[in-house]
Every structure is written in C-alpha cells, then in structure tokens.
Amino acid sequence: MSLYQITGPITTIGGTAVGNATTVGNASIVYINNQHTDTVTITIADSADATIGSFKLKEEETIFLAKQSSHQLFASNTAVEYSAAAAVAPMAWGRTSTF
C-alpha cells in the first residue's frame, strides 16, 4: 500500500475545458477530490492540449493520480479540488509492549 501526502494548497479546478486545464504546478502525483453532488469526468491532456484520456470520479470520492508533470487536468464540474502530492515512506513500527 502506498502512502501519499498533500504538498501544496488545495484548490478547485478553474474550468471545464482544456483552456482552463492545470498541470497542478507540474506535479507528478495529484490529490483529486470530487466535492460535487454527482459523478464528474476528469480529463488528462498533454501540453499541446490533446486529450490523453479521462476517467470518472464518484460523488465525494478522493484519489491520488500519477501523471507526467507536463500533463494537464480539467474536470466536468468546478467543484473538484486538487493539490500536488508526494509519496511518503511508511514508518516502521516496532512492538515493544509487554503484557
């Protein structure tokens, strides 16, 4: 299981078309949270604004997406939050309890 940490400010996606897409500060891992009351479509585009692919995010669903840093994101609704994120190493927990 991978662990991720949000590393930037949480912002809402500014528009619903590629002209308003964001690279999320050239992040390669992105936190995405759907705050809309319905399913939204997240679209990934390259730096030339060509669509690479898209996926659906259910109401109140949160994911961490790995992408190329130059790839852009936009959503079908502006109630989608995003932020740059990074993978973190899990802590090693030792058992020292005596019962």
Q: What is the distance between the alpha carbons of residues 7 and 10, in angstroms, rounded to a whole number?
A: 9
Work out the mean pLDDT of the chain and round it to a whole number. 90
Which value, to the nearest 10 degrees, does the dihedral of the CA atoms of residues 7, 36, 67, 30 take?
10
| CA pseudo-torsion sign 60, 36, 48, 55 | positive
Nearest in space to 82 (alpha carbons), one of 29, 3, 18, 16: 29
Residue 22 pLDDT > 60? yes
The residue with tokens 């009351």 is: 37
| Cα separations in angstroms, 56 against 14, 39, 90 | 18, 7, 29
Report the residue count for the chain. Answer: 99
Rounded to 10 degrees, what is the CA torsion of 62, 67, 72, 76? -30
In this prediction, residue 3 has a pLDDT band, given cuts at 50, 70 and 90, of confident
Query: pLDDT per residue over 39-75, tens digit each?
Result: 999 999 999 999 999 999 999 999 999 999 999 999 9
